[in-house]
């Protein structure tokens, strides 16, 4: 639908309100991501690791806003191919454990896929311990993580 047709039935006041809301949405979306986030995405897709710290921190902070789950899933899709340092691997393992405890979100399946690439024997024991959680959803999510790790 052309914008002219969309605005045709709106009053000037409503049109200005809508344009202001759209500008505010764009303003907040741009600022929701850390500096260097967008610039490094091309490198991330090419397998370059120089900005990986920005993306790990973004996932650790776990911001929750409109379309943040899509952004996280997109990052994880390319991050799982990268070689991680031992420290980064452990941070991602801790991050996945926290995701299991938090709840269902759009990006959970992507975290399951990432788990296959950062798993270790000791970490898998931590995930298995969550199977005995009093919360059946935590147990379910930990089962999904373990199932994804077994696919490797």
The CA distance from 91 to 61, in Å, is 12
Q: Whole-model pTM?
A: 0.80
Q: What is the number of domains present in the chain?
A: 1
Nearest to 53 by CA among 81, 97, 91, 93: 91
R_g over Cα of the chain: 20
Domain-located, residue 19: no
- Indicate the SS3 state at residue 104: coil
The two three-digit tokens of residue 41, written as one number:
């995405």
Domain-located, residue 20: no
Nearest to 148 by CA among 101, 105, 116: 116
Buried b (16+ CB within 10 A) or exposed e, 86-115: eebbebbbebbbebbeeeebebbebbbebb
Domain-located, residue 68: yes
The CA distance from 81 to 99, in Å, is 20
Q: Which domain holds residue 78?
A: 35-150
Domain-located, residue 12: no
Q: What is the pLDDT along the chain (152 residues), one digit of tens a residue?
A: 565 666 566 677 777 887 877 777 767 767 777 887 888 888 888 888 888 999 999 999 998 888 889 989 999 999 988 999 999 999 999 999 999 999 888 999 999 999 999 999 999 999 999 999 999 999 999 999 999 999 85
Residue with tokens 């798993």: 119
């Amino acid at each position: 639908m052309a914008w002219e047709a969309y605005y045709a039935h709106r009053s000037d006041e409503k049109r200005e309100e809508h344009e202001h809301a759209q500008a505010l949405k764009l303003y907040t979306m741009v600022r929701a991501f850390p500096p260097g986030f967008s610039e490094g995405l091309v490198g991330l897709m090419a397998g370059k690791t120089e900005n990986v710290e920005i993306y790990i921190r973004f996932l650790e902070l776990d911001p929750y806003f409109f379309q943040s789950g899509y952004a996280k899933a997109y990052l994880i899709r390319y991050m799982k191919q990268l070689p991680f340092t031992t420290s980064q691997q452990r941070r991602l393992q801790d991050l996945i454990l926290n995701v299991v405890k938090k709840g269902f979100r759009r990006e959970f399946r992507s975290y399951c896929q990432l788990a296959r690439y950062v798993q270790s024997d000791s970490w898998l024991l931590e995930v298995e311990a969550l199977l005995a959680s009093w919360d059946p959803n935590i147990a379910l999510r930990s089962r999904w993580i373990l199932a994804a790790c077994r696919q490797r």
